[in-house]
Structures are given as structure tokens and as C-alpha cells.
Amino acid sequence: MSGKFKLGLLPSLGIGIAAGVLLGLLVPANVMGVLHSIKGVLGSIIFFAVPLVIFGFIAPAICNLKNNAGKMLGVFLGLSYVSAVGASLFSAIAGYILIPFLHVSSTVEGLKDIPTTAFVLDIPPLMPVMTALVMAILVGISVIWTKASTVEKVLNEFQAMVLEIVNRIIVPILPFFIATTFAELAYSGSLTVQLPVFLKIIVIVIVGHFIWMTLLYLIGGLVSKKNPLEVVKHYGPAYTTAIGTMSSAATLPVALRCAHKSKVLPAEIADFAIPLGATTHLCGSVLTETFFCLVISQLLYGTLPSIGTMVLFSVLFGVFAVGAPGVPGGTVMASLGLVISVLGFDQTGTGLLIAIFALQDSFGTACNVTGDGALALILRGIFYNTDGTPKEIKS
């Protein structure tokens, strides 16, 4: 035995949820007021970090594009974006159709009011989320144009710093933030009323994952003129590993091994597409979060977002998904600013989103990883002939 025992993120969040529910059901009003104050402080810290995460990951990612195969890189990033946007729109359509039948209703009537906050510590972010996104894009592009190697090095170091902030500060406080969120929901009475709905929507999104993966592999088969089963049949170990790790990056070695077993994926395609997909193709996570956003909007705010709002959300979400880190909870963390600015979620809404997302994050990651094989198959069809020889691509 070496090193001290470290509880994983999912068990920590599960304990946080359970503790929060118990506290919400048992504590008196004055204690609930303190918990509400703690939630406000933790929420301020998390939301302060959101623009840093956006800038810290997207700007260096753009700078590093020049180090990869140009045309193939552009095509793969485009495929990742289209898959993410398509998954989000598919999920939104399913949400508009299914949510009315799930009996998700606003539970404002008859609920307890949360006690007045004991103290307030407001920590405003350095910049709005959209400012961070635009700044990241402009800085990244300008570094490539000017070949500013020093700035590129600084951005890469800043990315490492932000990742440490996420791993050492944001992730450890998430269970406590979620515990206070669920304490409020349990105290007010809304959680016990809507618990069956949460279980239903988790099953629905997992079914949605398999539908979307099936669609991606069918497209891959059509574009490559190869049997997609020759790829997907090897992905069982990668799917299982992703369920356990909740991280596309951590699953990468297994995913590469699975892709190399396929007879229809050239080794150079697998070596290029699978590692890139681990950080840019997050269709399962996007599908999940979009559906959950609709459910939470109906649950907490009494209405679904307008269709126009969801289309805007999906189009922008694709950008955030391509730039999100391939770590547990990376997608939802990178998109929190978008959820707040476009959908208008408050701290309760975002806390509930993080918690429910975490409950199925392993399945969303498994969908992401398995979907990478489909994009690799599409890439093979675009850049390779059916006999396995590279196509002549005009510049």
C-alpha cells in the first residue's frame, strides 16, 4: 500500500448530496441560514474561476493547433463541433417533447422559504464569460499570426495553473457546494417532490447516448464505406473504463488500444483522432447537460427556455465543448458561464445542474470516448480511399 486513500469525485459528490439532504431535513432555520451563507461563498469562488477556466483552456488550445496536421485537424475539430451542436439540439428537441410527460412542475407553492443569509461575501469574476471566450480566441489566433513563442509558453503555463486551481480548489469544494444546494432543496421541500423525476431523466439521457452513438457510427459507415461494427465492437473496454474514470483523458490509453484493434482504422488515423477526440469531442456530456438544463429550468423557474434561446445555447455550447478539459466535470465547469448568461440560471440552478450531471458523468464520458471511434471512421472516409491508401487532397 502506498499513498493515502483518496475518495473519488463521484463518491465525494454522492456523500455531499446525502449529507445535504439529511441536513435540509433535520436542521432548524438558523442553521439553514448559515448553510445558505456558506453556499453563497462557495458559489462565488466557483463562478470566479469560470472565466479563468474558459480563457486558460481555449487560448492555449488554439495556439497548439499549428503543431498538428492542418487539414485533418480542421476537419476533426469541425466534426467535433457539429457532433456537439447536433447532440445538444437533439437533446433539446427530446426535452421539449418528453418533459411535459414527466410531470416536472415548479414547486414554489407550499415550500418553505430559505432563511435570510447570515453573511455575504461577493467575489465578482474578473470578466464576463463571453468576454473570456472572445479574448481567448483573439489571443490564441494572434499568437499564431505573430509566432509569439514567449506568450504561447506563458499561456501553456497559465493553463497548467488553472488546471491546478480546478483540481486543488474547485473540485474539493464542489461536494460542499452541492451539499448546501441539496440542503436548501430538501429544506424547502422541492427535492422530495421531484426525486422520481431525477431518476427518470438519468435513464432518458443514457438512452439518448446510445441513440446518438448509433447515428454517429451509421454516418461513419456511410462516409467510409466500411462496416461501423468493425470499430464499435472493440470499444467495450474503453466504454467500461470511462464509466470508472469519468475522464476521457484518463481513458485515452485504453481507447487507443481499442481503436488499433479495428481493421478499418489506419494506425495513423487512430493515433491522430483518438487523442484529439479525448479533449474536443464531448457529445455525450453535451447531450446530457442540455436535457438537464431544460428539466431544471422547468423545475426551478416554472418554464422551459424559448426555442430561440436553446438554439443559441446549443450553437455556443459547441464552442465550449470543443475547448473544455477532458477531466471529470470538465464540460459542465467550462459551460457554467454560458448556463448563467444565456439560460439565466442562479446559484441554486447551477448547483443542481452540477450535482445531477455528476450522477451520470461516467455514462456521458463513455459516450464521448466511444463516439471518438465514429469520428475517426468519418475521418478515414474523408482522407483515405476504400483500399486504405491516402487520398490526394488539393490544397
Between residues 358 and 290, the one the model is more confident about: 290
Q: Is 246 exposed, middle or buried (0-12, 13-18, 19+ CB in 10 A)?
A: buried
Structure confidence at residue 6 as a pLDDT band (50, 70, 90): low
Q: What are 30's three cell numbers? A: 438558523
Please identify which residue in the block is written with the cell numbers 451542436: 85
Structure confidence at residue 121 as a pLDDT band (50, 70, 90): confident
Residue 117 CB contacts under 8 Å (≥ 6 apart), including other chains: 33, 36, 37, 40
Separation between Cα atoms, residue 80 and residue 281, nearest integer Å: 5
Separation between Cα atoms, residue 134 and residue 374, nearest integer Å: 30
Name residue 227's amino acid: N
**pLDDT reported for residue 81:** 93
Q: What are 55's three cell numbers? A: 480563457
pLDDT, tens digit, 9 for 90 and up, residues 33-53: 888 888 888 888 877 887 887
Q: What are 251's three cell numbers? A: 481513458
pTM score over 0.85? no
Q: Can you tell me the mean pLDDT for 195-206? A: 79
Name residue 42's amino acid: L
Separation between Cα atoms, residue 369 and residue 241, nearest integer Å: 10
| CATH number belonging to the domain at 9-383, selected among 3.40.50, 1.10.3860, 2.60.40, 1.10.3470 | 1.10.3860
Task: Report, in angstroms and rounded to the nearest whole number, the Rg of the chain calculated over CA atoms.
Answer: 21
> Which residues are 164's β-sheet partners?
none
Separation between Cα atoms, residue 170 and residue 13, nearest integer Å: 13
**pLDDT reported for residue 68:** 45
231 has a pLDDT exceeding 60 = yes
Q: Are 246 and 366 in contact (CB under 8 A)?
A: no
Nearest alpha-carbon partner for 292 in 244, 343, 249: 343
Q: Are 255 and 238 in contact (CB under 8 A)?
A: yes
Q: Are 123 and 44 in contact (CB under 8 A)?
A: yes
Name residue 353's amino acid: L
Between residues 131 and 314, the one the model is more confident about: 314
Nearest alpha-carbon partner for 277 in 360, 213, 359, 356: 213
Q: Is 251 exposed, middle or buried (0-12, 13-18, 19+ CB in 10 A)?
A: buried
192 has a pLDDT exceeding 70 = no
Nearest alpha-carbon partner for 49 in 391, 360, 350: 350
Q: Is 312 exposed, middle or buried (0-12, 13-18, 19+ CB in 10 A)?
A: middle
Q: Within 13 Å, how many C-alpha atoms sit on residue 34's CB side? A: 5
Q: What are 293's three cell numbers? A: 438544463
**pLDDT reported for residue 1:** 39
Nearest alpha-carbon partner for 14 in 327, 364, 363, 356: 356
